[in-house]
Amino acid sequence: MNYSKFLYVVAFATVLFTACGNDSSTSANNSNDGDNSSKSSSSSAKSSSSRKKVSSSSNKVTEPVEVTVGSMKDSRDGQKYKTAKIGKQTWMAQNLNYKTANSYCYDDNASNCSKYGRLYTWAAAMDSAGTFSTNGKGCSCGETCSPTYPVRGVCPDGWHLPTETEWESLFTAVGGRSTAGEMLKSTFGWESNGIGTDAFSFSALPAGWRYNYGVYDGEGDDAGFWSSTEGDSENANLMGLDYVDGYAGLYYGIKNYGFSVRCLKD
């Protein structure tokens, strides 16, 4: 399996940067939503890795899974999202785009928030400030925590940030890790014909990620989605997809890096 494209951020940050430091934005007003004409350089990003496989999973093929598409509305800002009920789970079929502190538009360009949704640090995804619930309060970079599950986090009321186990359940429902990427990826937007079949209407787009020092990378190539499962004080688990193949996996991502959020219905 080729994992080289979706880089493992821990090794890179340990050498050059403090993983839980240098987060340039601390409030929603600092979220850099405007169109930034000077695109950030990412020349150093390709030489390292931004995800690491956490564990293996069987590729058990299950019985055909019923998919029901629908929609929901976030009462906080009125945004509407497509949804997909895949087996027993109901997922948002678009990335969350709720503006909060320490969330960003790719390349600091507001049009990318409309296209991909926002990129959140893990603390923002977990709602470490306790704005919406106390279940993820205090879960941030440099700290370990014991959240109470399910963690609503930054998700709308009635939805939550999925655990590692819930991501595993999705993989199983769509036929196993080895083909889950192909099943979950959108039919457009991925580089080098790395598109998926979107067989379950999950419609994962290659939104890339944000380093904690403000550089963006991976658009068109990679997608990463936070879980509410902590790895250690600096890392949390995320679900990752890339353009290289049809695999989907769970990886460690540095908490102060920005990745996408997909919410799961309670």
Is 100 inside a domain boundary? yes
**Global confidence as pTM:** 0.83
* Helix or strand run (H / E) with residue 249: strand 249-254
Number of domains in the chain: 1
Residue scoring higher pLDDT (129 or 53) = 129
Residue ranges making up the domain that contains 242: 7-18+50-55+62-265
Instruction: Say what the pLDDT of residue 119 is.
Output: 98
pLDDT band at 21 (very low <50, low <70, confident <90, very high): low
Is 27 inside a domain boundary? no
pLDDT of 43 higher than 70:
no
User: Among candidates 208, 200, 201, which has minimal Cα distance to 243?
Assistant: 208
Q: Lowest mean pLDDT: which of 10-14, 110-114, 239-243, 251-255? A: 10-14
Is 33 inside a domain boundary? no
Instruction: Say what the pLDDT of residue 62 is.
Output: 46
Is 1 inside a domain boundary? no
pLDDT tens by residue, 58-96:
344 445 688 999 999 999 999 999 999 999 999 999 999
pLDDT band at 19 (very low <50, low <70, confident <90, very high): low
Is 2 inside a domain boundary? no
Kindly state the average pLDDT of the residues 215-243. 97
pLDDT tens by residue, 146-200:
999 999 999 999 999 999 999 999 999 999 999 999 999 999 999 988 899 999 9
Question: What's the half-sphere exposure (Cβ side, CA atoms, 13 Å) at 233?
Answer: 6
Instruction: Say what the pLDDT of residue 31 is.
Output: 42
Distance CA 91, CA 184 (A): 12
Is 185 inside a domain boundary? yes
How many angstroms separate the Cα of 129 from the Cα of each of 68, 102, 136?
Answer: 34, 11, 8
Say which residue the tokens 């250690």 belong to.
232
Kindly state the average pLDDT of the residues 208-236. 97
Helices (H), 54-207: 110-116, 122-126, 164-173, 177-184
Is 28 inside a domain boundary? no
Instruction: Say what the pLDDT of residue 63 is.
Output: 55
pLDDT of 17 higher than 90:
no
Is 186 inside a domain boundary? yes
- Give me the chain's average pLDDT, please: 83
Name the token pair of 58: 């069987």
